[in-house]
Amino acid sequence: MRTSKLPHVGTTIFTTMSALANEHGALNLGQGFPSFEVDNVWGDLVKKHIDAGRNQYAPMPGIPELRSALSTKIKRSYQQEFDSASEITVTAGATQAIFTAIQTFVHAGDEVILFAPAYDCYAPAIELIGAKAIWIELRYPDYQIPWKEVAEKMNERTAMIILNHPHNPSGASIDASDIQQLISITKDTDCIVLSDEVYEHILFDERQHQSVLRYPELRDRSLAVFSFGKTFHLTGWKMGYIIGAAALMSEFKKVHQYNVFCCNTPVQYALAEYLEDEEKYLSIPKFYQEKRDKFNLQLQSSDFEILPSAGTYFQLLNYKKISDASDVEVAVEWTKKYKITTIPCSVFYPNQLDEKVLRVCFAKDDATLERAVEILSQIKA
Ligand SMILES: Cc1ncc(COP(=O)(O)O)c(C=O)c1O
């Protein structure tokens, strides 16, 4: 047996907790995916393009119609022009875009700055190259980026900073002052900013999403990653895209073409057509904000501390009034005892920092959320 390239990686917590949820018939608020039906136009839309014979390989960076629709969307959302021919690539979900971007720009021995708690796909991609993850902690309760520490950790080996905002798992967002810090810290360096913005449209209370694409000062060094799965409740379709300056994108495509080469053709045509109606994405913040508000309001009389959630479809709950047990123990015990499954936040920290916080996903239908509130409200010390 050859030595593992990822010796520390086992089964992910999402798989473990979902299996436990199934075993115990528990309500699963663990993994982040919607439980409600998708827009009913999709079936006809995709079938139309399959029937029209659009079933062979797409152009490597994506079909021109979809890239053009995305260029328009970015202009509308972030007031910046990105050339559909040279600055946009369609990917197999955000995950592939992230993996490919890391492969493209990070060399063995480089350092990559990452923020914990972190979504789980960044660190293994860095480790596979033989580069080093430099972790910076975002801490309970507000999970803001400590920019002074970022500046201290930057050096000539720093190849990349990976940002994720709105942030999974905390639901925190960044504002314009964070971006100013980012600009000043990365100015005159060759550090790439990889900005994971899959929750760009799931941002609440009239906040403006601070995409790196808004900022011409970051253009020479930033790539932003998005997910149709997250935006249109189609996580199983694994479709996403990445946007950045032509010089960066041309390097990205060198790797992308040997990674997947291209993505699902009829679905790309369907997405291009769907994007013609901007209401489809402009209506999303309201849709999820109503879910967040209803869920949190009903939970107010419970013994959980409900942490502020600026965006994403995740809500953090602190349970320190209820139990002293570790978050992993609590998540497992409550799946078995109360039949509700959550994700312990310590798993998003490389050092398993346990702040007695659980993550729940509220991208669920009303009946599921009501049942979840009923169960959570019964859990007492
Ligand atoms: C922060 C973050 N980035 C990327 C992804 C992956 O997106 P996709 O399913 O499009 O690969 C997820 C999915 O949960 C996520 O939460």
> Which CATH number do you get for residue 352?
3.90.1150.10
**36, part of any domain:** no
**Nearest-angstrom CA–CA distance, 345 and 342:** 9
Q: Which ligand 1 atom minimizes the distance to the CA of 167?
A: 1
pLDDT category of residue 11 using cuts at 50, 70 and 90: confident
Q: What is the pLDDT of residue 8?
A: 87
Q: Domain containing 230 — which CATH number?
A: 3.40.640.10
Say whether 95 sits in a helix, a strand or coil. helix
Q: What is the pLDDT of residue 14?
A: 85
Q: Which ligand 1 atom minimizes the distance to the CA of 119?
A: 1
The answer to whether residues 130 and 210 belong to one domain is yes
> 128-132, long-range: CB within 8 Å, 24+ apart, which pairs?
128/5, 128/6, 129/102, 129/103, 131/106, 131/107, 131/159
**1, part of any domain:** no
pTM of the model: 0.97
Q: pLDDT (tens digit, 9 = 90+) per residue, 189-200?
A: 999 999 999 999
Q: Is the CB of 312 under 6 A from ligand 1?
A: no
Q: Which ligand 1 atom minimizes the distance to the CA of 227?
A: 10
Tell me what percent of the residues of the chain surpass a pLDDT of 90: 95
Neighbour tally for 46: CB within 10 Å: 20
Backbone angles phi, psi at 135, to 5 degrees: -90, 140
Number of domains in the chain: 2
Task: Evaluate if residue 1 carries a pLDDT over 90.
Answer: no
* Average pLDDT value for residue range 306-319: 97
CA 301, 302, 305, 311 dihedral sign is: negative
Q: What is the pLDDT of residue 332?
A: 96
pLDDT category of residue 68 using cuts at 50, 70 and 90: very high
Mean pLDDT, rounded, of the chain: 97
The answer to whether residues 196 and 320 belong to one domain is no
* Average pLDDT value for residue range 123-141: 97
Q: What is the pLDDT of residue 13?
A: 84
Burial of 154 (C-beta count, 10 Å sphere; 0-12/13-18/19+): middle
* Average pLDDT value for residue range 158-176: 98
Q: What is the pLDDT of residue 116?
A: 98
Residue of 168, 260, 347 with the most ligand 1 atoms within 8 Å of its CB, for mutation: 168
**2, part of any domain:** no
Q: Is the CB of 93 under 6 A from ligand 1?
A: yes
The answer to whether residues 368 and 272 belong to one domain is no
**270, part of any domain:** yes
Place of tokens 């139990």: 323
Q: Is the CB of 229 under 6 A from ligand 1?
A: yes
Task: Evaluate if residue 140 carries a pLDDT over 90.
Answer: yes
Provide the residue range defining the domain that includes 65. 42-277
**167, part of any domain:** yes
Q: What is the pLDDT of residue 31?
A: 84
Task: Evaluate if residue 97 carries a pLDDT over 90.
Answer: yes
- The CA–CA distances, whole Å, from 366 to 140, 216, 363 equal 28, 41, 9
Q: pLDDT (tens digit, 9 = 90+) per residue, 247-264?
A: 999 999 999 999 999 999
Give me the amino acid identity at 45.
L
**5, part of any domain:** no
Beta pairing class for 222-227 and 240-244: antiparallel
Single out the residue in 277, 294, 316 at which a domain terminates.
Answer: 277
Single out the residue in 224, 247, 277 at which a domain terminates.
Answer: 277
Q: What is the pLDDT of residue 263?
A: 98
Task: Evaluate if residue 227 carries a pLDDT over 90.
Answer: yes
The answer to whether residues 256 and 310 belong to one domain is no
**Nearest-angstrom CA–CA distance, 327 and 356:** 5
**4, part of any domain:** no
Q: Is the CB of 61 under 6 A from ligand 1?
A: no
Q: What is the pLDDT of residue 381?
A: 87
**37, part of any domain:** no
